[in-house]
Homo-oligomer: A and B are copies of this chain.
Amino acid sequence: MAEGAFGLLLDRAAQDLLFREARTVDVFTGEPVGDDLVRAVYDLVRYGPTSMNQQPLRIVLLRSAEARANAVRWMSGPGRARTAAAPLTALLAADLCFHERLPELFPGRPDAARLFEDPRVREESARFNAALQIAYLILGVRAAGLAAAPTMGFDPGGLDKEFFGDGRHTTLAVLNLGRPAPGTPPPRLPRLEFDDAVTVI
């Protein structure tokens, strides 16, 4: 890349789009979010790295009114109304049996799946790596010019039973997305300074 800003190689417009000017807004225009755009986002963010290429994130796009209603009834707090009104809602879940696919996804270590025989080890790894993928997805939604509003106000057991019912998936977040409604976004919340978050020893 030729440009760069603030000492980085990434150009300023991209920095602003993904981080500096992006905001978690939860009020959207009525413009629908088509599957094509979701595919374009997925096709980019799937390259984000995970430990041993686990890729435990599973996404359920709630397109039908029935599916959305079934999700909303397990939600509480401000996320409930936001989810009912969003142009598109996605359930973001971790596949707790991701290890079954490791022979294909991480072929260099044929014994990789055996490292995850302990369900507690597996769940911790699934949650960690699915969270990495959720972050990539949030930035990917922004890369598409949309806003992503994750919400945590839900009963995960309820959503898991409603949408998976197989005991092998656990919902980590509900993501509403769409084109942000015009108007002033809420004020930016404070961020920790470098010296508050980083120690050099």
Q: A residues touching B (Cβ–Cβ < 8 Å)?
A: 1, 6-11, 13-15, 17-20, 22, 24, 35-49, 51, 53, 55, 57-64, 67, 101, 104-107, 124-125, 127-129, 131-136, 138-140, 143-145, 150, 152, 163, 172, 189-192, 194, 197-201
Contact = CB atoms under 8 A, between A and B. Distances in A.
**Copies of this chain present:** 2
B131 A135 contact: yes
A147 to B, nearest CB: 10
A6 B44 contact: yes
A44 B15 contact: yes
A133 to B, nearest CB: 8
10 contacts: A6-B43, A8-B144, A9-B17, A11-B11, A11-B14, A14-B14, A39-B194, A46-B192, A125-B152, A136-B139
Given A14-B1, A43-B6, A46-B192, A201 B62 contact: yes
A162 B40 CA distance: 44
A41 B8 contact: yes
A201 B19 contact: no
A189 to B, nearest CB: 4
A22 B46 CA distance: 12
A65 to B, nearest CB: 11
A125 B173 CA distance: 11
A79 to B, nearest CB: 11
B143 A63 contact: no
A63 B128 contact: no
Contacts of A128: 127, 131, 172
A57 to B, nearest CB: 6
A7 B143 CA distance: 10
